[in-house]
Structure 1
Amino acid sequence: MVLSATLIRLLRLSSLQSTTTPTTTTQQLRSLQTLIPKSSKSLNSVEPNSIQSTPITTKDNYFATIHYISNIVRRDFFLERTLQKLQLKVTSELVYRVLRSCQKSGIESFRFFNWARNQSRYEPTSVEYEELIRILGRTQNWETMWKVAEQMKKEELTLTPETFSLVIEAYGEHGHVDRAVEVFNRMKGFNCKQTTEVYNSLLLALCEVKNFQGAYALIRRMVRKGGVPDKRTYSILVNGWCSAGKLKEAQDFLEEMSRKGFNPPVRGRDLLIDGLVNAGYLESAKGLVRKMTKEGFLPDIATFNALLGAICSAGEVEFCIDLFRDVCKLGLCPDISSYKVMIPAVSKLGRVDEAFRLLHCSIEDGNKPFPSLYAPILKMLFRLGQFDDAYSFFRDMKVKGYPPNRPVYTMLVKMCCRGGGFVEAANYLVEMTGLNLVPMPQTFDMVTDGLKHCGNHDLAKRIEELEVSIRGI
């Protein structure tokens, strides 16, 4: 019974001393029992028989247990003692999932892993070891990380190139380039191959500190060793040179690699545009894409969308409209991401005809309009005072597009209220609740206050009754 009392106290404190309902407590206790051996009688009497909770699935039980144990690992000072009292059935999957839930708790994750290793019938695999190494690398617990790596080596478990890549990038992000190079060179001692992914990680670390000479030398070594650069290899170095304002060096690099037969998976000018956009040199990117279109060349669709997004964010929507038309005339087929950038941008400017033209083009391309695509047009029509057009357009979208979600209905109610259409707002509120979309309390208040102000007390009372029936207050 002492153990039972301890568990109940832990369950009540597992969410940072937040108030826990009896149903939640029962579910957590049931969750723990899914991983506790049936022979442990001390927990069988913990579940209060008087509490009637809704049945939860085995999957729910399992993940509730993972969440509960993760909270202990992150927050309990005496986590080993607390975990030992739970009499858990420790498995590789359990350890892995708990570690995944504790990404920002390096030393605590290490303590949990050591506790798990001492449990009977559990032998850690390379999956758990590597996850722990990644966590320790991200949290800069370098010394402990290498101890774990050496322990893994003693047990003849292999480290994958993916783990080495993450460790190298972690060193690079914190400016420890010399250590990143050291990790790269130590891979042979762990019998791990230096793959393209590993080269890219070290390349990124070198570019972080603007060591472009070293980065270029690394690529030459990669080619000499038989490695094949991929899109990320080119992107890292081109982005680095562009961010440093070295556009000529980036162009020379692409030309040299092309002469050697290592053409990038995407065209060089697309990489340059991406690099200029990422570095914030929008005017240079605009000039380069303009030059391309005049010569009759089309940018890659992903590059084009990134450029559109950056230029629209900078407020140059008119340039984007002209560019969009030009590339479409040349044969570029915009995708849904293109319309997701353009429609909100032109709607914000109040360009009604352009917004509807883009929406119709999107539908003709086979895209069914979704809420975040037609909501900006709705908002534009309300802002321009075209209420009848807005209502008609909304009815049309309910038929042709995806069903409106709660944000769209909330925006619709708010816009109706701002325009004095409180009866219409009330109708949309009722329609919203009929679709099991529960409005926020302030949305109800906005409508009822407006109706009362207009003298429509009967409808206001019905809206208040609707809120009570939904919320039970």
Structure 2
Amino acid sequence: MLSFGRNCCFKYPGTYFRRGNASNHTNTILSTNSFCPKFPDPNYPFGKNPRSTHFFHHAHKLDLFLFQINTSYTQFPIPFAPFNSHYSTKAPSRSYQRRARKRLLKSSKPTLDQAQFQLALSQLPPRFTPEELCNVIARQNDPLVCLELFHWASQQPRFRHDVSTFHITIKKLGAAKMYQEMDDIVNQLLAVPLIGSEALFNMVIYYFTQARKLTRAVNVFKHMKSRRNLNCFFRPSIRTYNILFAAFLGRGSNSYINHVYMETIRCLFRQMVKDGIKPDIFSLNSMIKGYVLSLHVNDALRIFHQMGVIYDCPPNALTYDCLIHGLCAQGRTNNAKELYSEMKTKGFVPSSKSYNSLVNSLALGGEIEEAVNYLWEMTDKQRSCKKRTL
């Protein structure tokens, strides 16, 4: 414990402060770094102000500093921070502000509106069905009231939840970003063996991916594929795989992170084909985008050439945009121009991403005139598109 007495001493890095009587020079000597000039005090002569703290440069010289802190308005002397202080004066970073905001949201939990909860209970008949409970929960705007209705109904002796009540409760909690409460409801859902549907589990996986809980999303996916659910109607579909593809591709522009998650995407794609699920244009474009982001452009071209032959799914404009960007990023400008010509012959309009990639790649290669031609073509396309929308 620190005690602030009459003759107290404050110690900071390289600086000492001592409070005492100005008449007693031995109690007012301070030893500090040499960083301030020595001027006389213009307001009070030395020793006239009994409630002032004096700062001296050297103990053996007893030189008076310019800074004399009047302690008539404060109980303790104000410490003077040195120039070599280790405390940062910069504004807090965005990551720190985001973490502080999350901690504040977790600490300030909302309270249940008892009046609204009692009003919702009055709308239920004495022996209500799951459909009637689902309708009452769907009409509520407060997610806490929905959660309390779900827990209250679970305690009733003659009531059992079904797919509809789980679906509407998880939807309300996920839309309100109450992921911890939603996780508890999902655990109750997974504990019941033969309750579920494809739409319900797809929604659960989607909200877990929105909360960046990819492990939980994969666990729900494995539950859908488990052997005990072979006779049920909630096996993974193409939509389930597409939700997972979009989640694993949304990890930023770091090529190393995309390379790590690309292995998971490749395994999911192979499992989807093995289960007899035909990939669509979204899943194929996800594979191409993942290969491009992880700097495996040759694998992306392999998927591109297999789209119409093996999967019977012709490429679209987004497919060409991803490939042109990936080829230009690796300096393969000639291959990118070939895909650009093929794209225009099929009637697709290149996006600004394709034009910018071509212009940057050509300019870095020294082909300035051709880069300017692509630039003017891009501006003409944008003007024509604006006129069509108007």
> Aligned pair in 2 of structure 1 residues 163, 116: CA closer, same or farther (>3 Å)?
closer
> Are positions 1:266 and 2:349 aligned together?
yes
Letter in 2 for 1:273: Y
Deviation at 1:67, TM superposition (A): 4.8
Give the Cα separation in 2 of the matches to 1:39 and 1:203: 54
Deviation at 1:217, TM superposition (A): 0.9
- Write out the 4+ residue segments of structure 1 that deviate beyond 6 Å after TM superposition: 58-61, 80-83, 86-89, 103-107, 117-120, 276-279, 286-289
> Are positions 1:238 and 2:321 aligned together?
no
> Are positions 1:291 and 2:373 aligned together?
yes
Partner of 2:116: 27
Give the Cα separation in 1 of the matches to 2:180 and 2:136: 29
Partner of 1:130: 202
Give the Cα separation in 2 of the matches to 1:125 and 1:156: 6
Structure 2, gaps ≥5 residues long:
1-105, 129-134, 252-256
User: What are the superposed Cα offsets for residues 257-311 of structure 1, whole Å, 9 maximum, x if unpaired?
Assistant: 66xx7x25324x75522656999x9xx9x9879625867x8644xxx3xxxxxxx
Give the Cα separation in 1 of the matches to 2:336 and 2:224: 38
Partner of 1:205: 290
* Structure 2 contact 262–290 (Cα < 8 Å) conserved: yes
Give the Cα separation in 1 of the matches to 2:356 and 2:239: 25
> Are positions 1:139 and 2:213 aligned together?
yes
User: What are the superposed Cα offsets for residues 42-67 of structure 1, whole Å, 9 maximum, x if unpaired?
Assistant: xxxxxxxxxxxxxxxx8897233545
- How large is the Cα RMSD of the aligned pairs? 4.7
> Aligned pair in 2 of structure 1 residues 155, 60: CA closer, same or farther (>3 Å)?
closer
> Are positions 1:39 and 2:146 aligned together?
no
* Structure 2 contact 359–372 (Cα < 8 Å) conserved: no
User: What are the superposed Cα offsets for residues 50-90 of structure 1, whole Å, 9 maximum, x if unpaired?
Assistant: xxxxxxxx8897233545445x79xxxxxx97773488874
> Are positions 1:148 and 2:223 aligned together?
yes
* Structure 1 contact 107–136 (Cα < 8 Å) conserved: no
Question: How many residues are treated as equivalent by the alignment?
Answer: 259
Give the Cα separation in 2 of the matches to 1:108 and 1:94: 15
Letter in 2 for 1:115: Q
> Aligned pair in 2 of structure 1 residues 241, 264: CA closer, same or farther (>3 Å)?
farther
User: What are the superposed Cα offsets for residues 190-245 of structure 1, whole Å, 9 maximum, x if unpaired?
Assistant: 33211111111111221221111111111111122122111222222233344556
Deviation at 1:26, TM superposition (A): 1.0
Deviation at 1:123, TM superposition (A): 3.8
By percentage of residues, which structure has more strand?
Answer: 2
Q: Select the residue among 154, 160, 165 that pairs with 1:84.
A: 154
> Are positions 1:222 and 2:297 aligned together?
no
Give the Cα separation in 2 of the matches to 1:292 and 1:171: 34
Give the Cα separation in 2 of the matches to 1:29 and 1:287: 74
Partner of 1:166: 243
> What SS class does the counterpart of residue 234 from structure 1 fall into?
helix
Give the Cα separation in 1 of the matches to 2:138 and 2:182: 22
> Are positions 1:115 and 2:210 aligned together?
no
Give the Cα separation in 1 of the matches to 2:354 and 2:330: 13
Partner of 2:264: 179
* Structure 1 contact 126–158 (Cα < 8 Å) conserved: yes
* Structure 1 contact 168–205 (Cα < 8 Å) conserved: no
> Aligned pair in 2 of structure 1 residues 150, 217: CA closer, same or farther (>3 Å)?
same
User: What are the superposed Cα offsets for residues 367-418 of structure 1, whole Å, 9 maximum, x if unpaired?
Assistant: xxxxxxxxxxxxxxxxxxxxxxxxxxxxxxxxxxxxxxxxxxxxxxxxxxxx
Deviation at 1:132, TM superposition (A): 2.1
> What SS class does the counterpart of residue 63 from structure 1 fall into?
coil
* Structure 2 contact 138–168 (Cα < 8 Å) conserved: no
Within-5 A mapping of 1:386-405: none
Letter in 2 for 1:272: S
Partner of 2:337: 251
Structure 1, gaps ≥5 residues long:
1-13, 41-57, 74-79, 305-326, 337-364, 366-473
By percentage of residues, which structure has more helix?
Answer: 1
> Are positions 1:102 and 2:174 aligned together?
yes
Within-5 A mapping of 1:380-391: none
* Structure number, greater radius of gyration: 2
Give the Cα separation in 2 of the matches to 1:236 and 1:118: 42
> What SS class does the counterpart of residue 141 from structure 2 fall into?
helix
Partner of 1:64: 141
